[in-house]
Amino acid sequence: MILILSEESEVSTQNVIDWLLYLRIPYFRVNETCRVQIDYLTIRNGVLDFKLSITNPFFSTPFSVFAQEIKGYWYRRGFFLLQMPLILGDNFSELNVIKEGFNKYLVEENEKVVDFFHKYFRTIPHLGYFHDNFSCNKINNLYQAQKENILIPDFVITKNKSDVELFLKDNPFCITKGIDRNGFHIKHKISIGNLAKLVTTSEIKKSSTRFNYSFIQQYIDKKADVRVFYLDGKVFSTAIFSQNDEQTKIDFRNYNDERPNRIVPFKLPIDEEKKLRKLMKKMKYKTGSIDYVLDKNNNLYFLEINPIGQYGFISNKCNLFLDKAICNYFKSKCHAGN
């Protein structure tokens, strides 16, 4: 049985499940809205055993699963919402501060149990890792990439106007984007995006002297964006002709729904594939979406890795059948299905 940890709105998860059903590979899916209860966790005579009970809001009865039933694991976003019996504080009680402190202690204790499961699932055939979603660091990925002789754009991270002005002297065209995320949500109702934006000298002159740490990167006059999906050593790559549209020229994620960018299959040079495989193994990423840009001289510049990045749009446009490839990974590694 394949355990899938995902989110209700994650479309690619359902596409993979369709293939699991077709190939008769048993699975169970846990979304962020499910409640997970750990009935027991034990090691006896060197053998690990546990029982999980999952309550799904769409089903009336809980679903139970045992350790020996889980043959593979796919982390595709989301988290375990663990049922935690806490002591409820009384706002009028003099012991409320103690109760709050004890509640915090219990939460931290429970988090350690959940953390063990994330680490354990990494020891069985798996794709994705919960902590990659939060520990993935764009700066470190760029640093490690250049150590593997992968070309990257020059960049500076600073909170001083003078540093940006100095960087612009060597790089007249630059972009700025998030150091980590591409935006944030406010109470899951308001989304504020932070896509790449061109930085001009005139804008810097008008800006304040000091500001928050900002990521300023050399702008590459590109022929196309290159999106790669990596799957346990296999490399699937595509070219996105974003440069032909002013709306998507700086950042192809500023999608033009009325006139979408053309996306075609693309073959990375053999040496570049070798470097990428080495980098992904070094970073311990078994899967992920990788972004490059291809400049006018056919040089490839590495931009970033997203361990749980979207891949459906390149799979559909280029007939890569990545959902099937993910399913086949578990079929071969777990000896599941017919």
Task: Judge whether 279 lies within some domain.
Answer: yes
271 and 144 within one domain: yes
183 and 230 within one domain: no
253 and 215 within one domain: no
Task: Judge whether 338 lies within some domain.
Answer: no
**Position with higher pLDDT, 180 vs 324:** 324
Range of the domain at 72: 2-133
Mean predicted lDDT score pLDDT of the chain = 88
CATH code (residue 325): 3.30.470.20
Report pLDDT digits (tens) over 116-157: 999 999 999 999 999 887 788 999 999 999 999 999 999 999
CA-to-CA distance for 181 and 177, rounded, in angstroms? 9
* 263-265 and 234-240 beta bridge pairing: antiparallel
Task: Judge whether 85 lies within some domain.
Answer: yes
Mean pLDDT check: name the lowest of 188-197, 250-259, 295-304, 327-336: 188-197
HSE-CB for 164 with a 13 A CA cutoff: 28
286 and 213 within one domain: no
Q: In what order do the strands lie in the sheet with 27-30?
A: 27-30, 2-5, 72-75, 126-127
Identify the bridge partners of residue 82 per DSSP, sorted by sequence position: 36
Please report the pLDDT score of residue 89 as a whole number.
57
> Which of 102-106, 168-172, 301-305 is predicted most confidently?
301-305
CA-to-CA distance for 338 and 332, rounded, in angstroms? 11
Contact (Cβ atoms closer than 8 angstroms) between residue 138 and residue 179 = yes
Task: Judge whether 191 lies within some domain.
Answer: yes
Task: Judge whether 51 lies within some domain.
Answer: yes
Contact (Cβ atoms closer than 8 angstroms) between residue 72 and residue 126 = yes
CA-to-CA distance for 34 and 20, rounded, in angstroms? 21
In the predicted structure, residue 25 carries a pLDDT above the cut 90: yes
Q: Distance from first CA to last CA of the chain, Å, rounded? A: 13
Torsion over CA: 334, 11, 7, 180 (sign): positive
**Averaged over 19-24, what is the pLDDT?**
95
Instruction: Name the 3-class secondary structure at 337.
Output: coil
In the predicted structure, residue 265 carries a pLDDT above the cut 90: yes
Angle subtended at Cα 308 by Cα 305 and Cα 311, rounded to the nearest 5 degrees: 90
When divided into structural domains, the chain yields a total of 3
pLDDT band for 211, please (50, 70, 90 cuts).
confident
94 and 36 within one domain: yes
Residue type, 156: V
In the predicted structure, residue 256 carries a pLDDT above the cut 70: yes
Which tokens go with 23?
């190939």
267 and 209 within one domain: no
**Averaged over 290-301, what is the pLDDT?**
96
Task: Judge whether 335 lies within some domain.
Answer: no
Report pLDDT digits (tens) over 35-65: 898 999 999 999 999 999 998 888 778 889 9
91 and 128 within one domain: yes
Burial 84-106 (b: 16+ CB within 10 A, else e): eeeeebeeeeeeeeeeeeeeeee
Cα–Cα separations (whole angstroms), residue 115 to 109, 207, 278: 10, 44, 28
Mean pLDDT check: name the lowest of 30-34, 117-121, 144-148, 200-204: 200-204
**Position with higher pLDDT, 319 vs 245:** 319
pLDDT band for 336, please (50, 70, 90 cuts).
low
Domain boundary among 193, 219, 245: 219
144 and 242 within one domain: yes
Domain boundary among 133, 162, 185: 133
Please spell the DSSP secondary structure of 236-291, one letter per residue. EEEEE-GGG-TTTSS-TTS--SSSPPPEEE----HHHHHHHHHHHHHTT-SEEEEE
Helical spans, DSSP H, in the chain:
11-22, 96-121, 132-135, 138-147, 161-170, 201-206, 270-282, 312-318, 322-334
Please report the pLDDT score of residue 324 as a whole number.
96
106 and 10 within one domain: yes
Task: Judge whether 337 lies within some domain.
Answer: no
In the predicted structure, residue 186 carries a pLDDT above the cut 80: no
226 and 316 within one domain: yes
What is the value of pTM for the model shown?
Answer: 0.88
164 Cβ contact list (under 8 Å, min separation 6): 156, 158, 199, 204, 214, 216
Task: Judge whether 147 lies within some domain.
Answer: yes
CA-to-CA distance for 38 and 218, rounded, in angstroms? 49
271 and 146 within one domain: yes
239 and 294 within one domain: yes
